[in-house]
Amino acid sequence: MHYDIAIIGYGPVGAITANLFAQKGFNIVVVEPKKDIWNIPRAVHFDGQTQRIFQSMGFMDEISKIIHPMEGISFLNNKGKSIVNLYLKHDEPINGYDESVFFNQPIFEKYLRSEANKHKNIDLKLGFKLANIEAHESINNLNILNTNNNAEENITSKYVLACDGANSFVRKSLNIESFDYKCDQDWVVVDYQVDKEYEINTDRYQICDYKRPTTIVPITGQHVRWEFKVNPDDDLETLEDERNIRKMMQPHLWRLNPDIPLNSGKLLRSSAYTFHGLLANDFKYNNCYLLGDAAHQMPPFLGQGLCQGIKDSYNLCWKLTGVINKSFNKEILNSYSLERKGVVDFVIKGAMKQGDIIGSQDWLTATLRDLYLNIASFIPGLLKPLKFQNSWRIKNGIIDKELFPNNVNGVIIPHPALNIKVDNKLFDEYLGNNFGL
């Protein structure tokens, strides 16, 4: 069987990619070993530009029902005193939507799959894994296996889009190496469900305690994400034990609600992770493309892992659509890696800075940081390392560096609400998804 596009992996990036290309009318196959959605939340955050992409897909009305905006976040020192408070909600956000919102990933994925199921041009191979890939300029030969009985199928596609995660089989098969930012940090990530009878405070906290850096982020409903940095002398096996998790939660639980008993609520999961900074040397090999975690991995401190994967998909979609439809020269596809690598590199470095700020485990460094942030709270420009969601820009790719001045070159076009005649719509709703003048 031959397809225009083979999408490997059906997590959130794969599902977004399938919907984007299906809307363009292409013949698509999706290959995914798991049949069901993993019912544990991992990613929890969208930014304004991501929501702007959802709007272009016609999804924003439904997605707006499952997201909750973050108004700000408080940075506290080891004594629980406020160092600095960041307010992220603006009257006129540059992308037309709140720059920081939270969501439940399983609910989000179920919605994406329900939309994909509406498209007759998507062939879902759930319960199949990619066993071999031969990547050529003109065609890609894919050997896939049924995970139940190991029955083989051979399919071909003009393009392969690898959305198969951090351990990407496609990336490894194509021998694409990655740059390591050497910023590994071990953290324990906990998802905690507060009992329904307790109304929770939805403020978010970065507790910059050098003895145990901690993050507290209410997500949606009664779901709260906790992150605890692992100390050098910790035993990971015992640290993940529920008794120890609740012990680490105890000093801060009152911030959610002073009446919550220590042993109440449900721990949905507690898992130790090593946060990495990795960037593939190239996002393209012949007609195979890496997207999402297959192309890059970053510390989670800016909540950008999934956001950047969705932006990969959107960037590639309009270019590949133009090439398949013979509107663009195929050379435009070389800009995908150029544009996305530059932005993702900037985001990874920003996440590393954020991690250094909140995760210091040295008393002197933490004391100097607290002093800096206290001063910076009165001089907004000094807080740039903590809040730069609007400053990501394309530095290389399809931009004319001579035609446009440096202050606007590669900067995202604002997305304001426009009141034209009797309509009050966002800018992109008037512009549409094609080029405009």
- In the chain, the domains with their CATH numbers are 2-57+103-181+281-355 (3.50.50.60), 185-275 (3.30.9.10)
Strands 28-32 and 82-87: unpaired
pLDDT computed for residue 302 by the predictor: 92
Where residue 349 falls among pLDDT bands split at 50, 70, 90? very high
Where residue 437 falls among pLDDT bands split at 50, 70, 90? low
Note the residue count of the chain. Answer: 437
Which is nearest to 311 in space by CA: 11, 38, 51, 60? 51
| Cβ-based neighbour number of residue 277 at 10 Å | 23
Distance CA 290, CA 297 (A): 12
Give strand pairing partners of 155: 142
Distance CA 338, CA 394 (A): 9
pLDDT, greater one: 100 or 417: 100
What percent of the chain stands above pLDDT 70? 95
pLDDT, greater one: 199 or 39: 199
261 token code pair: 């008993």
pLDDT computed for residue 392 by the predictor: 73
Which pLDDT tens digit goes with each residue over 2-29? Answer: 999 999 999 999 999 999 999 999 999 9
pLDDT over 80 at 136, yes or no: yes
Return the axis-axis angle of helices 305-324 and 48-56, rounded to nearest 10°.
40
Strands 152-162 and 2-8: parallel
pLDDT over 90 at 207, yes or no: yes
Contact 133, 149 (CB under 8 A): no
125 token code pair: 């191979």
Average pLDDT of the residues in 22-37: 97
Distance CA 292, CA 309 (A): 4
55 token code pair: 């709007």
pLDDT over 60 at 147, yes or no: yes
Cα distances from 226 to residues 33, 114, 178, 189, in angstroms, run 30, 30, 29, 6
Which pLDDT tens digit goes with each residue over 164-188? Answer: 999 999 999 999 999 999 999 999 9
Query: What is the model's pTM?
Result: 0.94
Give strand pairing partners of 204: 73
Which pLDDT tens digit goes with each residue over 405-418? Answer: 666 777 787 777 77
pLDDT over 90 at 307, yes or no: yes
